[in-house]
């Protein structure tokens, strides 16, 4: 069965620390990869996406992610986090060349202390 | 502004009752997907509607049904509610399931079944 694993359920960092959130998926075919963020009280918002091409993708607010096909991974990174990055982060995968069903990880709660 | 609007925002129902949740997609979008997000979990795909037809369905029982109207808005109906149906129900819209258009999510409807 298709699954998406996010390794860290809760990450606590101080401002200016570097961030890396892990994401692995189990599907072996063509995939589209996403990171969504949910700020407190707000809707899910797209941070970045990978469909094809350069495996290093840049998103909004200084986030980036690297697709490593051989490791079935799509880890999210940010060199220096801010208090405003406190939110829940979800990795998601869709299969094939069309956008249909999204498979989500269970999410990682990031808390950044000022 | 999410662009995708859902109503109501909160709902409390009793076991065995039926509920209808509503969603208006982002302007210009024609595809609507519904997700269930239980506490502490990532969103789980329920089904997707395109051109007023259910195109894909996740692992949810027939108690979960939906509808899409000619104006692309959608309803999610759940019959014979169980305590386990308590969750945040998310609606997401996109332009066309065939063109890799990312999903835009609404704020969700929080359903509590007592």
pLDDT band, residue A29 (cuts 50/70/90): confident
Q: What integer pLDDT is reported at residue B101 of this predicted model?
A: 72
**Residues 6 or more apart from B53 whose CB is under 8 A from it?**
B68
Q: Provide mean pLDDT across the span A50-79.
A: 95
* Contact state of A105 with B43 under an 8 Å Cβ cutoff: no
Q: Provide mean pLDDT across the span B46-75.
A: 95
pLDDT for B52 beyond 70: yes
On whether the CB atoms of residues B29 and B103 are closer than 8 A, the answer is no
* Contact state of B42 with A90 under an 8 Å Cβ cutoff: yes
pLDDT for A2 beyond 80: no
Q: How far apart are CA B38 and CA B19, in angstroms?
A: 17
Chain A residues closer than 8 Å to B30 by CB: none
pLDDT band, residue B93 (cuts 50/70/90): very high
């Amino acid at each position: 069965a298709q699954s998406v694993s996010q390794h860290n359920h809760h990450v606590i960092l101080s401002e200016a620390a570097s961030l890396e959130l892990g994401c692995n998926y189990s599907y072996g075919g063509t995939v589209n990869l996403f990171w969504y963020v949910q700020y407190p009280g707000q809707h899910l918002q797209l941070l970045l996406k990978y469909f094809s091409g350069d495996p290093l993708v840049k998103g909004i607010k200084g986030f980036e992610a690297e697709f490593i096909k051989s490791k079935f991974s799509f880890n999210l990174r940010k060199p220096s986090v801010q208090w405003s990055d406190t939110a829940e982060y979800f990795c998601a995968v869709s299969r094939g060349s069309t956008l249909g069903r999204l498979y989500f990880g269970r999410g990682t709660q990031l808390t950044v202390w000022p | 502004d999410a662009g995708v609007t859902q109503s109501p925002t909160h709902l409390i129902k009793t076991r065995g009752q039926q509920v209808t949740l509503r969603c208006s997609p982002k302007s210009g979008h024609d595809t609507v997907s519904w997700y269930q997000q239980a506490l502490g979990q990532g969103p789980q795909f329920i089904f997707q509607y395109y051109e007023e037809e259910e195109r894909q369905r996740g692992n949810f029982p027939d108690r979960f049904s939906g509808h899409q109207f000619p104006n692309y808005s959608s309803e999610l109906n759940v019959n014979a509610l169980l305590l386990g149906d308590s969750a945040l129900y998310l609606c997401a819209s996109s332009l066309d399931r065939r063109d890799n258009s990312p999903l835009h999510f609404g704020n969700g409807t929080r359903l509590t079944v007592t």
